[in-house]
Structure 1
Amino acid sequence: MKLEAIPGAPQDGDLEFVLATEKEFEEIVSMSHGIYGGLDYLPSRYHSWVNEKDRMVVLAKKKGDVIGLISMFVVDGGETALLEGLRVAPWERGRGIAGVLQRFGCQLVKHRYPSVKVMRLTRDDKLTPKELNKYKVISKQGILLVHFNAPELSSRLSSIPLPPGPSRPSPPILLSPEEVQGVFLERGGLLKDLLPNQTLIQDWQPFQASPGNHDLLRRKSIRWMADDSIRPRVASLCTAPFPVPAGPLCFYLNIDVFGSGLRGAQEQLLSHLAAHVPLLPADVKCQLFLPPSMWRPMADFCTNVLGLKLDKGYTEQYLLEADI
Structure 2
Amino acid sequence: MKIENTMPCSQLPEAPPQTGLQFTVATEEDFDDIMAMSQDIYGGLDYLPTRYQAWLQDTNRIVILARKQGKVIALESTCIIDDGETMLVEGLRVAPQERGKGVAGVLLRFCSQLVKAKYPDVKFCRLTRDDPLGPKDFQKYRLITKQGILLVRFRAEDLKLRLAELGPNVGIPEDRRPSCAPVHLDPSEVHQLFLNSDLMQEVLPNATIVQDWQPFKPLSSNIAILLKKDIDWLVDDPKSPTVTSLCTYPFRVPIGEDWYYLNIDVFGKDLSLAMQQFLSHLRRHTSTLKGNVMCQVFVDPPMWKPLADFCRTTLGVEQVKEYTEQCVVEADVV
- TM-score tier, shorter chain, comes to over 0.9
Code of the residue aligned with 1:179 in structure 2: it is: E
Aligned partner of residue 297 in structure 1, secondary structure: helix
Paired position in structure 2 for 1:200: 209
Q: Post-superposition shift, 1:112? A: 2.2
Code of the residue aligned with 1:39 in structure 2: it is: L
Q: Post-superposition shift, 1:191? A: 1.5
One of 35, 59, 74 as aligned partner of 1:68: 74
Deviations 1:91-150 (A, max 9, x none): 112222111100011011112222211010000011232222111111111000000000
Paired position in structure 2 for 1:130: 136
Paired position in structure 1 for 2:3: none
TM-score, reference length from structure 2: 0.92
Say whether residues 1:217 and 2:229 are aligned partners.
no
For residues 267 and 110 of structure 1, the distance between their equivalents in structure 2, rounded to whole angstroms, comes to 44
Deviations 1:60-107 (A, max 9, x none): 111211011100000111111100011111111222211110001101
Paired position in structure 2 for 1:267: 276
Aligned partner of residue 145 in structure 1, secondary structure: strand
Paired position in structure 2 for 1:11: 18
For residues 120 and 280 of structure 2, the distance between their equivalents in structure 1, rounded to whole angstroms, comes to 42
Aligned partner of residue 190 in structure 1, secondary structure: helix
Deviations 1:142-168 (A, max 9, x none): 000000000121223233232223122
TM-score, reference length from structure 1: 0.95
Paired position in structure 2 for 1:183: 193
Code of the residue aligned with 1:167 in structure 2: it is: R
For residues 10 and 184 of structure 1, the distance between their equivalents in structure 2, rounded to whole angstroms, comes to 47
Say whether residues 1:168 and 2:158 are aligned partners.
no
Paired position in structure 1 for 2:124: 118
Say whether residues 1:254 and 2:260 are aligned partners.
no
- The total of aligned residue pairs comes to 321
- Do the aligned partners of 1:148 and 1:308 also contact (CA within 8 Å) in 2? yes
Aligned partner of residue 95 in structure 1, secondary structure: coil
Q: State percent identity of aligned pairs.
A: 51
154-163 or 44-53, which deviates more: 154-163
Aligned partner of residue 241 in structure 2, secondary structure: coil
Aligned partner of residue 50 in structure 1, secondary structure: helix
Say whether residues 1:104 and 2:110 are aligned partners.
yes
Say whether residues 1:95 and 2:101 are aligned partners.
yes
Code of the residue aligned with 1:52 in structure 2: it is: D
For residues 59 and 195 of structure 2, the distance between their equivalents in structure 1, rounded to whole angstroms, comes to 21
For residues 295 and 46 of structure 2, the distance between their equivalents in structure 1, rounded to whole angstroms, comes to 13
For residues 190 and 12 of structure 2, the distance between their equivalents in structure 1, rounded to whole angstroms, comes to 41
Deviations 1:208-248 (A, max 9, x none): 01222121111010000011111111110001111112221
Code of the residue aligned with 1:292 in structure 2: it is: P
Say whether residues 1:245 and 2:254 are aligned partners.
yes
Say whether residues 1:231 and 2:240 are aligned partners.
yes
In structure 2, the CA distance between the partners of 1:287 and 1:142, relative to structure 1 (3 Å rule), is same
Say whether residues 1:156 and 2:162 are aligned partners.
yes
- Do the aligned partners of 2:14 and 2:23 also contact (CA within 8 Å) in 1? no
In structure 2, the CA distance between the partners of 1:75 and 1:12, relative to structure 1 (3 Å rule), is closer
- Do the aligned partners of 1:183 and 1:189 also contact (CA within 8 Å) in 2? no
Which runs of 5 or more residues in structure 1 are unaligned?
A: none
- Do the aligned partners of 2:162 and 2:315 also contact (CA within 8 Å) in 1? no
Code of the residue aligned with 2:221 in structure 1: it is: G
For residues 158 and 184 of structure 1, the distance between their equivalents in structure 2, rounded to whole angstroms, comes to 32
- Do the aligned partners of 1:225 and 1:235 also contact (CA within 8 Å) in 2? yes
One of 295, 311, 317 as aligned partner of 2:320: 311
- Do the aligned partners of 1:244 and 1:252 also contact (CA within 8 Å) in 2? yes
Code of the residue aligned with 1:70 in structure 2: it is: E
One of 56, 63, 81 as aligned partner of 2:62: 56
- Do the aligned partners of 1:182 and 1:190 also contact (CA within 8 Å) in 2? no
Paired position in structure 1 for 2:84: 78
Pairwise CA RMSD of aligned residues?
1.4
